[in-house]
Amino acid sequence: MILVTGGTGLIGSHLLYRLLANGYKVKALCRKGSSKKDVKDLFDFYEASPLFFKIEWVEGDVQDYYSILNALHHVTHVYHCAAMVSFRPSDRKMMYSVNVEGTANVVDACIEKKITKLCHVSSIATLGKSHNGSLIDEECYWQSDDNHSFYSQTKYKAEMEVWRGIKEGLKAVIVNPSVVIGPGNPNKSSGELLQKVSKGMRFYTSGSTGFVPVKDVVCSMICLMNSAVENERFILNGENVTYQHFLTLASKAFKVAPPSLLAPRWLLNVVWRIEYLKYIIFRSLPRLTKEAARTSMNHSKYSSLKVKKVLLKDFTSLHESLLESVIFLTSKH
């Protein structure tokens, strides 16, 4: 039996679908009151509604150690996808608790219950910079002076909890996906960005990063869990592209005009400051934060050579994955 945490999220819901389609028995940890609608919508989209009803939902929270222990009853393999992603200063305490302490709880519970293998979903945010312009790979280590967002810091510390567990005898694989693209909730993860694109965007930013289809993320996770590989981390990245290229591809998929104006650095710096002031005064959700502005101007390229040596296959193209996301968003929302 497999346990998935974060099963109602983008990666978790696709993982649940793929595991069940492959015939596995699956439990999913779910917080009290969490909606399962996104998961049902996804299964319906893949015309696999009967599989949705095979998920055994177990109520629990990664912040509650005993709820994880309870969920691990009869479980041999764990996929830990639960996390909180936020750039709001007011979410920091909760994000630390969910991402760092929550992962420590999952690791400790896996050790206590003698789980066969854990797959932890980390992020490219935990990697360091590359030297001499080469692609960032698994050997690029985090530097504490690199101006990281608070989210990145929590993901780094969460990954460290898994490495600590490995030292204590846990068998685990860690995946570090880049920006994950695929059918999902338009108000969460990359769905939020695609939703904005669907309404037409005027500006693009100067940076570049890696993007990876969610299908490839979950297939890689399952393949790594089924392999003899253990105690290693793997970057999951499909293509390195500029934000301008990504936004143009996505706009074309939505059949809207692509953004044509480069947002200069000074404009981004003005916008995030105004948004911050509005947040302080009115507590309104910032549309741009300092961290997001900085990230949108970074140039980072990632290597996925290591995982491809295990998978022995290439990833789906960004274009194909965007088309599928757009069909999902336009059909459901």
Ligand X SMILES: NC(=O)c1ccc[n+]([C@@H]2O[C@H](COP(=O)([O-])OP(=O)(O)OC[C@H]3O[C@@H](n4cnc5c(N)ncnc54)[C@H](OP(=O)(O)O)[C@@H]3O)[C@@H](O)[C@H]2O)c1
Task: Catalog residues that contact ligand X under the rule CB under 6 A.
Answer: 5-12, 29, 31, 34, 61-63, 81-85, 98, 102, 121, 123, 155, 177, 179-180, 188-190
Is the Cβ–Cβ distance between 107 and 62 less than 8 Å? no
- Taking the C-alpha atoms of residue 59 and residue 57, their distance in angstroms, rounded to an integer, is 7
CB of 152 to ligand X, least distance (A): 10
CB of 257 to ligand X, least distance (A): 25
Structure tokens at 174: 């860690």
Neighbour count for residue 211 (Cβ, 10 Å): 23
| C-alpha distance from residue 217 to each of 13, 239, 276 (Å) | 12, 13, 34
Of 115 and 127, which CB lies nearer to ligand X in the complex structure? 127
- DSSP state at residue 172: E
Cβ burial of 205 (10 Å; 0-12, 13-18, 19+) is buried
CB of 161 to ligand X, least distance (A): 12
CB of 166 to ligand X, least distance (A): 18
Neighbour count for residue 303 (Cβ, 10 Å): 19
- Rounded to 5°, the CA angle 17-23-28 comes to 50
Of 126 and 251, which CB lies nearer to ligand X in the complex structure? 126
Q: Which residue is nearest to ligand X (CB)?
A: 9
CB of 82 to ligand X, least distance (A): 3
Of 102 and 238, which CB lies nearer to ligand X in the complex structure? 102
Of 192 and 260, which CB lies nearer to ligand X in the complex structure? 192
Of 149 and 269, which CB lies nearer to ligand X in the complex structure? 149
CB of 273 to ligand X, least distance (A): 26
The CA-to-CA distance between both ends of the chain, in Å, stands at: 34
Q: Which residue has the tokens 């917080």?
A: 31
